[in-house]
Amino acid sequence: MLETNKKVAEKFGIDTAIIERNVDTWKNIEILGDDLTFLSVRESERTKHVHRLHPYLGKFIPQLVDVFLKKFFKKGDTILDPFSGSGTTLVESNIFGMNSIGIELSPFNVLIQKVKTKKYNLPEVESEIIDALKRVKSFSYKVQSSSQSVFRETIEYFDTPSKYLKEWFSERALQEILFYRSIIKDYKNQDVLKIILSRASRSARLIPHYDLARPKKPVKETYWCIKHKRYCEPINEALKFIIRYSMDTIKRLKEFDKLRTEAFINIIEGDARTVELPDDVKINGIFTSPPYVGLIDYHEQHRYAYELFGFPRQDGLEIGPARKGQNEEARIEYIRGIGTVFKNVSKNVIDSACIFIVANDKFNLYPEIGRQCGLKLIDVFNRPVLMRTERDENKFFESIFYFKKA
C-alpha cells in the first residue's frame, strides 16, 4: 500500500493485513500508479462538486474512474457507460476532455445525470433557486404560525393521492414539499429545483437519522439514535433541508462549471439491451459498474421521487434486482441480461477498445459474461470498498475487470 494510505488506515484502526490478503496493492501501484484503496481521499473529495448533488446507493467514487481514464484513454476519446446510474463516469470523462455517452433505464437517474452535466446560465439558476427558497420559507412560516384548523381554512392546503407520501412524511414536511413542487413550473431551471426537492424529501422522511439508504418503515415515535448516541425525535420538517440543499446546489454547480470542458455528454434514456446507437458513433472504451446481482432495487431506493414527480417506473426491466435474489436462476438471468447489453453496444465499440467493468463478483460471473460476449479478459484489479463514513468492520471487495474487444 502507499504510505499515505497506510497512515490513514492506522489512524482509523483499519486492518491493512485484511486488505493485503485480498488485494495485490503493489500490482495496482505498478500498473495503475495507485493502490486503489483511496484511504487518504477525504469525504469532501469523494463527493466533490456535482457528485453530491443527490445521494445514490451503489455508485463508485470519482477517483476510481480517474485512475483508469488517465491510464488508458486520451483527450478526445469517447467513453461509454451503458449503466450510467448517477453519471459519475460522464462527469469525470468531461473533466478530462473526453466525450461520453450514458445509457440509463431509470427516468429519475436520467434526471440526476442531466442536472449534473448541463451547462447553465449560473446567475439565472442562482436567482431562481433563491426565489423559490424565499417562497417556501414564507409558506412554511404561515403554516407554523397557524393552528391546524386555521391552517386548513386560511392557507392553501396541498393534498396528494399518494399513500406513500402521507405515510412517510409529517404533515408540515409534506405541505412544504408539495408547495415547493407546485411552484417549480414557474421557473426555467425546473430540473434543478426537482433535484433540490428530491434530495430534501429524501432527508425529510420519517426515518432514523442513521438509516437514510434503506429504511424499512416510518418512525413516528422517539427512538434511540445509533448515529447521535441519544434519543431523537422523528423529522418534522422539510424546510431546513430545502434551505441547506438549495445553497449547496448553487455551490456545486459553480464548482463543476469551472472544471468542465467542451467535450460532449450524451445521455440516453432506455434499456441498454435494446438501445440502438447510430452507426457513425464510435466508442473508444467503456467504463461502467453494472447493477450487482440481487442487491439493490434501483427504482425503489428513490420511491419518494417517483411518487412526487410521477416518473414511470421500469422496475420490471432492471437487471439483477434485489427482489429476485441471488439463486442460480437469478444468476443465469443476470448473465444473460448483462451479456445482451455488451453484445448490443459492441458494434459501436472500436477494435481493441479497453472495457472496464466494476463489480463485486462474488459468484465469479464476469469471466463467463466476457466469454459469451467475445471479450478477451486482460487483467483483474481488486480493491477494498471501505465505508469511511461509517468506520465499521463491514468491508467488502470489488473487482475491476479489464477486457478488450477481440
Asked if residue 177 belongs to a domain, the reply is yes
Residue 244 and residue 271 in one domain: no
Residue 277 and residue 215 in one domain: no
Torsion of CA 229, 230, 234, 240, to 10 degrees: -70
Asked if residue 44 belongs to a domain, the reply is yes
Residue 134 and residue 175 in one domain: yes
Residue 247 and residue 284 in one domain: no
The CB-side HSE value for 5 (13 A sphere, CA atoms) comes to: 19
Residue 217 and residue 285 in one domain: no
Residue 155 and residue 192 in one domain: yes
* Grid cell digits, residue 348: 459501436
Residue 191 and residue 145 in one domain: yes
Q: Which structural domain, as residue segments, surrounds residue 273? A: 3-48+60-88+99-107+267-290+298-309+344-360+368-405
Residue 81 and residue 152 in one domain: no
Q: How many helices (H) and strands (E) does the chain have?
A: 16, 9
Helices (H), 118-276: 122-145, 148-154, 163-168, 171-183, 190-204, 239-259
Number of domains the chain contains: 2
Residue 238 and residue 181 in one domain: yes
- Contact present, 122 and 254 (Cβ < 8 Å): yes
Question: Which amino acid is it at 3?
Answer: E
Q: How far is CA 213 from CA 58, 111, 205, 208, 292, in A?
A: 10, 19, 11, 10, 16
Strand partners, 383: 398
Asked if residue 234 belongs to a domain, the reply is yes
Q: Please report, for the domain that includes residue 80, its CATH number.
A: 3.40.50
Confidence at residue 154, expressed as pLDDT on a 0 to 100 scale: 54
d(C-alpha 238, C-alpha 344), whole Å: 43
Asked if residue 187 belongs to a domain, the reply is yes
- Contact present, 351 and 405 (Cβ < 8 Å): yes
Strand partners, 179: none
CA angle 199, 204, 209 (to 5 degrees): 105
Residue linked to cell 473526453? 98
Residue 30 and residue 141 in one domain: no
Tallying the residues shown for the chain, one arrives at: 406
- Contact present, 343 and 373 (Cβ < 8 Å): yes
d(C-alpha 94, C-alpha 111), whole Å: 18
Residue 131 and residue 238 in one domain: yes
Confidence at residue 59, expressed as pLDDT on a 0 to 100 scale: 86
Confidence at residue 393, expressed as pLDDT on a 0 to 100 scale: 47
Tens-level pLDDT at each residue, the chain (406 residues): 999 999 998 888 888 999 999 999 999 999 999 999 999 999 999 999 999 999 998 888 999 999 999 999 999 999 999 999 999 999 999 999 999 999 999 999 999 999 999 999 999 999 999 999 999 999 999 888 875 555 555 567 899 999 999 999 999 999 999 999 999 999 999 999 999 999 999 999 999 888 887 888 999 999 888 888 899 999 999 999 999 999 999 999 999 999 999 999 999 999 999 999 999 999 999 999 999 999 888 889 999 999 999 999 999 999 999 999 999 999 999 999 999 999 999 999 999 999 999 999 999 999 999 999 999 999 999 999 875 444 344 568 999 999 998 7
Question: Which amino acid is it at 290?
Answer: P
Residue 378 and residue 278 in one domain: yes
Confidence at residue 147, expressed as pLDDT on a 0 to 100 scale: 58
Q: For residues 59-82, b (16+ Cβ closer than 10 Å) or e, as one string?
A: ebbbebbebbbeebbeeebbbbbb
